[in-house]
Amino acid sequence: MALKKDLENMTTLEFVEYFKAVNKPHFDRHYNYGKEWIQTADRGSLISWLRQGTWNEWAAAAVVAKLVKDYSDKVDPEFYPMFARQVSDEARHWVLRHSLLKKYGGNMDNFKPMDEWVEVFELPFKVALERPEFFQLRFTSALQVVEWTSVSHHRGVEEGAGDRYPEIKAVFRELLDDELFHWSIAERTWLKLCTTAEARRDVLEITTKYTLPTIDRARTRRVELAKRHAI
């Protein structure tokens, strides 16, 4: 990658493009993963898979809301409207996924979130608090980067659902539109705040060392358990 040698001198826009380019193979894997999974899923595994997904929507909303209410002195208040829209989207997704779950005959009774997904939603504050000077950058590198993997994954699900699961196709099309917006919060955060080579190295490191392995584990395990109707 030609830009790699020059993290210091690239513009913030170039950095965003660089970030996407170096991580693209990873996101492509999430697409394929979603597409393959939905093509083989039976109704029981769908229910299992949706139960965890439904909880994830609430967890994402709660984490973003917690960011504003507990760490306002560490984030740029100009981002409040975007965070509010993400909370609002996640809350709407909570409704959508809940309805989908019911449509397939499932519910959230006795649900216990998977440890791997709990870890996904604990990660943003964990890494952010370790380096307060990069608080918002690190938070975003953990949370909104996951959103980009969700865009890829859900696009795979939407395209793989075909005529077997038309409701899944419709709902996930809407979900991934919003997730694309959530990912753009990361892009905008970096455009505004990721201005030094040190910060850029940190964002890349958090992403590759923590965020992507954590979300990989969570997604893989979720499908494994869903196939056994075990969530």
Partner 1 sequence: MTEQVPKIAEVKATDFEPVAWYGYVTLLKTRKKEFVDQYLNDLLTMLDYVIYCLNHAAASSREIADEPRLYETLGRILVVSTWHRRCLLNLIEYRTGSRPKLVRTAYDAFNKTLETAEDMADVLAGARLCIRLLFSAVRAGIYYCPDRAIRDVLLMINERDLDYDVAMEDFIGKYVGEPDVFEPSKDVANIVLDVCLQHFPQEPVETLPPPRWVDVCDIDELSEGGLKLVNADGWMEILLAKVDGKIYAVENICTHERGFLSDGITLGTSISCIDHLAKFDLRTGRVLTQPHHGRARPLAVFPTQVEKNKVRVGLYF
Footprint of partner 1 on this chain (CB under 8 A)? 58, 61-66, 68-70, 72-73, 76-78, 80-81, 83-85, 87-92, 94-95, 98
Asked if 13 and 191 count as a contact pair (C-beta separation under 8 A), the reply is yes
Residue number with CB closer to partner 1 (19 or 135) = 135
In angstroms, give the least distance from the CB of 114 to partner 1: 18
Burial of 48 (0-12, 13-18, 19+ CB in 10 A): buried
Torsion of CA 174, 62, 187, 2, to 10 degrees: -100
Q: How far is residue 205's CA from residue 192's CA, in Å, rounded to a whole number?
A: 19
Is 80 or 166 the residue whose CB approaches partner 1 more closely?
80
Whether 189 and 145 have beta carbons less than 8 Å apart is answered as no
Least Cβ distance, residue 82 to partner 1 (angstroms): 8
CB nearer to partner 1: give 73 or 163.
Answer: 73
Query: What is the four-CA torsion angle of 71, 75, 78, 79, rounded to 10 degrees?
Result: -80
Residue 93 dihedral angles phi and psi, to the nearest 5°: -65, -35
- The torsion angle over the Cα atoms of residues 197, 202, 67 and 124, rounded to 10 degrees, is 160
SS3 109: coil
- Of 51 and 98, the one with the shorter C-beta distance to partner 1 is 98
Minimum separation from the CB atom of position 87 to partner 1 (A): 5
CA-based torsion, 41, 47, 48, 53: positive or negative: positive
- Asked if 157 contacts 75 with a C-beta cutoff of 8 angstroms, the reply is no
- Cα–Cα distance for residue pair 133/156, rounded to 1 Å: 36
Q: Which is nearer to partner 1, 33 or 79 (CB)?
A: 79
**By C-beta, is 83 or 159 nearer to partner 1?**
83
CB of 75 to partner 1, least distance (A): 9
Q: Specify the residue, 66 or 112, whose C-beta has the smaller distance to partner 1.
A: 66
Min dist. Cβ of residue 204 to partner 1 (A) = 28
The least distance separating partner 1 from the CB of residue 151, rounded to whole angstroms, comes to 20
| Closest CB 160 distance from partner 1, rounded Å | 26
